Structure 1
Amino acid sequence: MFVDYAKVSVKAGDGGDGCISFLREKYIPHGGPNGGDGGRGGSIIFVADELLATLLDLKHRAHYTTKRGQHGGGKNCSGKDAEDLYVKVPLGTTISTEDGELIADLTVPGQEVVVAKGGRGGRGNQHFASATNKAPRKFEYGEEGEQRTLILELKVIAEVGLVGLPNAGKSTLLSKLTAATPKIASYPFTTIHPNLGVLEFADGTRCTIADIPGLIEGAHTGAGLGDRFLRHIERTKLLVHLVAPAETEPNADVETMKYAFDLVNNELASYSADLAGKAQIVCLTKTDMLTEEEAEEVVTEFRKSGIEMTPICSHTEAGFDWLRARIQEELAQLVEPEPPEAPEPELPGAPY
C-alpha cells in the first residue's frame, strides 16, 4: 500500500531531576553538597532510508515518545542520558509543522534531523553552594522534552515526470521506456499512485521517470486527489506531457486536444509557479488510433499555437528513439535545483 502522507505526534523525553545530597563519611559528618545532575531525555530523530518507499509504517503508528533522563544521585553521580529514538522515513520525505513551517527535506540517504529534542537534565545541589550557603537544599527539575505534531509528505524523487489527462497512455509509455510494471488498462484512473522506472540511455547514463496519476479539472484543489498527485512532480526537472485522442471519439477535432493540453497546464500553474515553469516535451500519443494525415494535422495545429509536438506510439514504439534522445538532451541542459534549506538542529551536548 502506497502512503504519501502521515500526521504524527512526537514527545521527547524529559530531563532527569537534579539531586540534593551531602557528603557523609566516617570522619566528615557535615560534608558539602554532592548532588549530581539529571540525565538528558531521549531525542527523536528522523533518518532517510533509501530502502523505504512509503509512509505506511508512520501512518499506522501516530505517536512517538522517548524515555526521560535518569535522576541525579549522591556522590556527584550524574543521571544516565536516555536513549534517542531513530525513525526511518523514505527518501523524499518533507517534515513540517502543522502551521506549514518546513523542518527538513530528507533527500540524501542517511540524512538525519532531530524533530524533538530531549529535555536537559536539572542541576544537583552541588552547583548552588556559595560562601554564604555551604549546605544548599536547592536543585533543578529536568526540562520538559519537546512535543509537537508533524506533517510528513512523501514526494517521489525523479528527474522526469509523465503528465496528462487520465488514460493518456502514461503507464504504457513508462513500461516501454523502462522496466517498470505499472497497472495498465483502457479506463481512466488505472494509476492511483506514482510509479517509478529507470530509463537507461545509449551511453550508459540513467534517469528516473515518474508516471503521475492522471490530472482532471480542479486537481490543484484536490479534485480526483490531484493535489496529492501534483506534489510528486515538484522535484522533477522535466515533464513529458502526453496528449491523446479520445478513445470513444478518436477523430475529435484538434480543439478538443488543445483543451486537454491547456487544462493540464492550468492545473500545474494553479498548484505552483514552479510546476508551470518546468520544461516540457509534448507528445501526441496513441497515434495508432489516427491516420498519418490526422496525426500530422494535430501536430501542425499545435505548432501554429507555438507548441512543438511530436507523435509517438507505445504499441509500435514509433518515435521512441527520438524521445529518449530528447529527454537526455533536455536533462543535460537543465541545472539541477537545490533542495530547500531546512534547519537541522544538533543534539544537545553536555548540560553545562
Structure 2
Amino acid sequence: MSRLLCRSLSRQRRLFHCSGAPRQEASNTVLETQEDDDDLQDLLRRKRKTEWKRRQGGQSFLDNLIINVRGGNGGDGCVAFHREKWKPMGPPSGGSGGRGGDVYILPTPNLTTLSSIPKRVRGAAGGNGQGTWQNGKSAPPTIIKVPLGTVIRELLPGDSRRAKDEWEAEEESLKGLGPEERRAKLRDDRWVHYPRYADDNVNRDVFKQAEAALYREERARRWARKQRLLSPINLDLDKTEEVMISDDAPLGMGQHEWLGHIVARGGNGGLGNPHFLSPINRSPKFATRGHEGERLTLYLELKILADIGLVGMPNAGKSTLLRALTGGRAKTEVAGYAFTTLNPIVGVIRVAEDGTFEGALQGEHIFDETAIEEERLRERELSDIDNAEEQLRLQDDSPDSPRPDIEPGHDFDVHETFRFTVADNPGLISGSSENVGLGHSFLRSMERSLALVYVVDLSRPEPWDELRDLKDELEKYQPGMSDKAHMVIANKADLLGGEGDRDAVEEAREKLRRLEEYVKTEMVVKTPDGERILDVIPTSAKMSQNLKKAVVLMQKYIQQARTVKV
C-alpha cells in the first residue's frame, strides 16, 4: 500500500508541474498526502524491524555462549644438513619449529553483547623450522574480546556440551585401527623423516631411544593437564587490568600492554635434527613435529555491569527516559508498541557539581522518536523536489509543534564531577522469571546493577499492579534481588502540570497519591539498618520534566552502594 501511495504522490507532482496549477494548492495537496503516507511507512518499518529481530532468536544480543577454543599448533622441526662448496658433508642444520599462539580473553568496556564472538576460536600456528639453523617464527597471540561483566567457566569432562581435548581427539582418530596401523599413525603424527630414510630410522636404536623419551614427555604433559582440570577456569571479568612494571625491572624494559587472561596455551614447536646429535649419532635424519595446542570448551555468561538498572513493563517509557537523561546520546528504540527494546542499552549520565546533568541542557527538547522519524521522512520527500525555493517554503509550512533535532545531543560544557551508567533493559512481563516472553536473558542483565529503579506508566489505569508484578518477577528469579530497588519513577505524568482537561488532571493526581500509598505500605525494603521506603518521582521523560530530582537521588544511591561495596 505504501508503494502505491508513493507512486500516486509522484504522479501528482508531475501533473502539477505540467498543468501549471497554483503552487500553493500543489503544496497543500502534497503535504496532506505525505502525512498519511509517513504514518503508514513509519508503522510498517518499525513492525518489520521488530519482527526481524524476533525471528533472529535474539542473535543481535547474546548473553550466554559456548565456544570451543584451541591454542595454536607448534611448528614442525626441520631435517636438513649444511652444505657448502668445500663441505659436502656438513653438520645437521635443521631449525626448530616456532611455538603456537596462546589464546587470551580480554574484557573490553565498549562491548555490550557476545554476538561478535565466534563459536570456534583457534590460535595461530607456529612457523616450521628451515635449513641453515633457521627456527620457525612463534605465532602471535589470539585475543577474544568480551564485554565487562562476562563470567567464564570451563566445561569439564562428562558435560555433553564439551568438545574433546587434544588427547581424546587423538584416541578417537585411532579407533578401528590394528596394532601396526596404530603405531604407524602415531609415528607419522610425531616425527619428520629425511626423504627415503623413514624405514631406516625406525629400525635404529638411537631413534627408539628418542621415541621412548618423547613418550615420557607426553605422559608428563598429560598428567599436568589432568592436574589443571582439578582447578578449571572460572573467571569473573568485572574490570580491566594494567601491567605494572617493577622498579627493579631491567633498564629499557618498556610498558607492555595487558593481553587479558590466558585460557588456552599454544603447543611447543618441534625439535630440529641438530637436537638429536650425539657421539653415536653423528647424522640424525629425523626431527619432531610440533605439539598440538590445548583444546577446551568455555561457557560465557554476560551480566551487564551498570550502576542503575531500569526495570519496567514493555512500553513504560524506559528508553525515552534514558534518551532524556543522556541528552539523546543513548540511541534507544522508541515506538508505540510493546517490546520495542530487544537489546539492553547502557547510557552514561554526567553530572556537574550543582546537580546539572547533560540531558538537562536540552531545555524544552521533546524526546519523541516518532516525531524524529517523521521529520526524517519529510526531509527525504522534500529532497526529491528540484526547486530549492519550494523546499524552503514547504519546510516553513510545517506544523507549529516544537521541531526536534534530527540528532540530539551536544557537548557537556559544565565541569563534570560525577559520572554513572544507566541500563535500559527490555520490558518484563508476568512469567519472565519462568522464561516467558524475553525471559531469563534480560533478568540476568539486571543482576549486577548497584541499584534498581522501577519505571511505571502513570497513564495506565492501575500502575501499582505493574509495580507488584515487577517486584514478584525479580524475587522469583533471584530471592532478594528486589532489595536493590531504591526508586519508583512514575513516567508519562504530563497532566500533573495542570494543563489539559480538569478531570484528567485530578485523575492523574489521585493515581499518583494511590501509587505513593502503595509504595509506603507494600514496597518497604528491609535492610540491616532498618526499613527503607522507596522514593516516588513523577516525571515526563518525553518533555524532560522533573528529571533533575531523579538524577540527584540516583547519584546518592550509587555513592552509598559503592561505599558499601568497598
TM-score normalised by L of structure 2: 0.50
* AA at the equivalent of 2:137: K
- Which residue is 2:139 aligned to? 82
SS of corresponding position for 1:37: coil
Choose which of 62, 76, 80 in structure 2 pairs with 1:4: 62
Does 1:193 find its partner at 2:343? yes
Instruction: State the 1:215 CA deviation.
Output: 1.1
Tell me whether 259-268 or 230-239 shows the greater mean CA deviation: 259-268
The equivalences for 1:148-167 within 5 A come to 148-167=296-315
Quickly say closer, same or farther: Cα 1:130–1:262, change in 2 above 3 A: farther
Residue 136 (structure 1) shift:
4.7
Larger helix percent: 2
Counterpart CA distance in 1 for 2:259 and 2:478 is 27
2:72 to 13, 19, 37: 13
CA distance in 2, matches of 1:158, 1:262: 24
> CA offset at residue 281 of structure 1?
2.0
Deviates more, 1:224-233 or 1:99-108: 99-108
Q: Name which of 435, 442, 457 aligns with 1:222.
A: 435
Give the Å deviation of 1:232. Answer: 2.1
Aligned AA (1:333): Q
Letter in 1 for 2:272: G
Q: 1:185 to 1:328 in 2, by over 3 A?
A: same
Instruction: Give 1:163 deviation, angstroms.
Output: 0.5
- CA displacement, residues 276-335 of structure 1 (integer Å, 9 cap, x when unaligned): 453532333444474323322321232123343414121565543322211111111112
Distance 1:68 1:174, change over 3 A: closer
- 8 Å CA contact 1:11–1:65 kept in 2: the answer is yes
Change in CA separation of 1:308 and 1:81 when aligned onto 2, cut-off 3 Å: closer
Query: Does residue 1:320 correspond to 2:547, yes or no?
Result: yes
- Secondary structure of the residue that 1:281 maps to in structure 2? strand
Return the alpha-carbon distance in structure 1 between the equivalents of residues 98 and 350 of structure 2: 53
Change beyond 3 A, Cα 1:294–1:50? closer
Q: How many residues align structurally?
A: 330
Distance 1:284 1:137 in 2: 82
Alignment RMSD, CA only?
A: 3.7
Say if 1:237 and 1:336, in contact at 8 Å, map to a contact too.
no
Q: Structure 1 residues 196, 26: closer, same or farther in 2, change over 3 A?
A: closer
Number of the residue aligned with 1:241:
454
TM-aligned CA distance change 1:128 to 1:228, over 3 Å: same
Following superposition, the deviation at residue 97 of structure 1 comes to 4.0
Q: Distance in 2 between matches of 1:183 and 1:29?
A: 76
Per-residue CA distance 1:106-160 (angstroms, 9 max, x = gap) = 7439763344332111223433445555555554321102334444454444211
- Between Structure 1 and Structure 2, the one with more strand by share is 1
Change in Cα spacing, 1:264 to 1:301, as seen in structure 2 (3 Å) is closer
Partner Cα distance (1:182, 1:336) in 2: 31
Map residues 1-352 of structure 1 onto 2, 5 A cutoff. 2-5=60-63, 6-21=65-80, 33-50=92-109, 52-58=111-117, 62-98=119-155, 102-103=234-235, 105=237, 107-108=239-240, 112-130=260-278, 133=281, 135-136=283-284, 139-179=287-327, 180-203=330-353, 204=416, 205-245=418-458, 247=460, 250=461, 252=462, 257=464, 259-272=465-478, 275-287=481-493, 288=495, 290-305=507-522, 306=524, 307-314=533-540, 319-335=546-562
User: Could you tell me how far apart the structure 1 residues matched to 2:309 and 2:519 are?
Assistant: 21
Following the alignment from structure 2 to structure 1, what is the Cα–Cα distance between the partners of residues 511 and 144? 55
1:1-60 Cα distance to aligned partner (Å, 9 max, x none): 8433455444332111223445666777776655432111233444455555544443xx
Measure, in 2, the Cα distance between the counterparts of 1:121 and 1:274.
53
Code of the aligned partner of 1:260: E
Instruction: State the distance in 2 between where 1:186 and 1:153 align.
Output: 32
On the 8 A contact 2:94/2:132 being kept in 1, the answer is yes
Counterpart AA for 1:324 = V
The answer as to whether partners of 2:77 and 2:287 remain within 8 angstroms in 1 is yes
AA aligned to 1:308 is L
Residues 47 and 86 of structure 1 are in contact (CA less than 8 Å); yes or no, is this contact kept in structure 2?
A: yes
> Could you say if the C-alpha distance between residues 274 and 20 of structure 1 is closer, same or farther in structure 2, counting changes exceeding 3 Å?
farther
Q: Residues 336 and 237 from structure 1, CA distance in 2 versus in 1: closer, same or farther, beyond 3 angstroms?
A: farther
Structure 1 pair 171–29 and aligned structure 2 pair: CA distance change class (3 A): closer
Maintained 8 Å contact 1:156/1:235: yes
- Give unpaired runs (5+ residues) of structure 2: 1-52, 54-59, 160-232, 242-257, 354-415, 496-503, 525-532
Cα gap change, 1:175/1:71 in structure 2, threshold over 3 Å: closer, same or farther?
closer
Give the share of equivalent positions with the same residue, in percent. 36
C-alpha distance in 1 between matches for 2:285 and 2:234 = 44
CA 299–316 in structure 1, closer or farther in 2 if over 3 Å, else same:
farther
Structure 1 distance, partners of 2:564, 2:90, is 64
Bigger Rg over Cα: 2
Secondary structure of the structure 2 residue equivalent to 1:79? coil
* Distance in 2 (alpha carbons) for counterparts of 1:210 and 1:277: 18
Which deviates the most, 162-171 or 178-187?
178-187
The answer as to whether partners of 1:93 and 1:107 remain within 8 angstroms in 2 is no
List runs of 5+ in structure 1 lacking aligned partners. Answer: 340-352
CA distance in 1, matches of 2:341, 2:88: 79
Aligned to 1:343: none
Amino acid at match of 2:338: P
Q: Distance in 2 between matches of 1:145 and 1:338?
A: 40
Quick check: 222-231 or 315-324, which moved more? 315-324
Using the size of structure 1 for normalisation, the TM-score is 0.76
